[in-house]
Structures are given as structure tokens and as C-alpha cells.
Copies of this chain bind each other. A is one copy, B any other.
Amino acid sequence: MENPFDDVYFMKKALQEAETAFEKGEIPVGALIVIDNRVIARAHNLTELLVDVTAHAEMQAITAASHFLGGKYLHNCTLYVTLEPCQMCAGALYWSQISKIVYGARDEERGCTTLNTRLHPKTVVIGGVLAEESSQLLKRFFIEKRNLN
């Protein structure tokens, strides 16, 4: 039987979070943390609402997952995020020792791959899951924003 809980399944949920961010006028990035096929944290970018550059989707998801687990290490957890993590988020993921990171669109300019941010040696990274959908949502956000200004 096919496993319904694959990376695309969870990335779709992360994309729903990104859409919620979009509706709030936030740069649309969404994130989810999953353990044993169970979602233990979901978040979207809130930097504008919270007036706080640290309020990226991934950062909130890390905090929420740690609270849920009662421990600060995210072993056996997978982060799903619609955009490749930045230095800050990748740095937080390094400390969390998270097992797996799955991201959607690449961030060529400010993503952790380009900027060579160190991740934990045990962390597996998979990029490009629903990349086109994630990227299109971001493009639509910036086009609408430009037209409003």
C-alpha cells in the first residue's frame, strides 16, 4: 500500500501555512515539524505582525516542537518548509540536531546552501519538494505588493 504520509503530503500542509501568511500580508513561508507521521508544530512567517526579524516560520516551529516534546533536541523530527532556510533558521536547526529538513523553493541569494551555513552532521536535507508552488506563491506576493505601493 502506498504511504499517504510522504514528503508531498506534509509539504502541502506547509504550503497552507504559507498561504495563511500571504493573507496576513506576510512574506508567504510556512513550516511544519513532524515526528512519526504526526504534526507537532505548524507555523508561518510573522515578522511584520510581531515586528521581529526572528519570527520566521522555522524559528516558531522549532520552539513549538521543543515545547511539545519537552526537550530541546528534535531527534527523529522532520521540518517541512516552503522556502530554503536562511542562515538564522539553519543555525537554529543546527543547534536542534533535527534529523531531516525538507524544503520547497531554493533561496539562491539568502538560503543556507549559497551562504554555506553549517548544519548538524546527522541532518539529512532534501530540497525541491513542491518548489514550483512555493516559488509561485512568493512571486505572487511580491507582484501584489509592488502593485499596491
Contact = CB atoms under 8 A, between A and B. Distances in A.
Interface string A48-65: 100111100001001100
A139 to B, nearest CB: 21
A20 interface: no
A36 B51 CA distance: 21
> How often does this chain occur in the complex, in copies?
2
A115 B96 CA distance: 17
B51 A67 contact: yes
Q: How large is the interface on A (under 10, 10 to 19, 20 to 34, 35 or more residues)?
A: 20 to 34
Interface string A69-95: 011110000000000001111111011
Given A72-B47, A115-B117, A117-B115, A66 B91 contact: no
A85 to B, nearest CB: 9
B51 A117 contact: no
Contacts of A54: 54, 59, 62-63, 92, 95
A95 B85 CA distance: 13
A118 interface: yes
Pick the 4 closest A-B CB pairs, nearest first: A88-B91, A87-B91, A53-B95, A88-B92
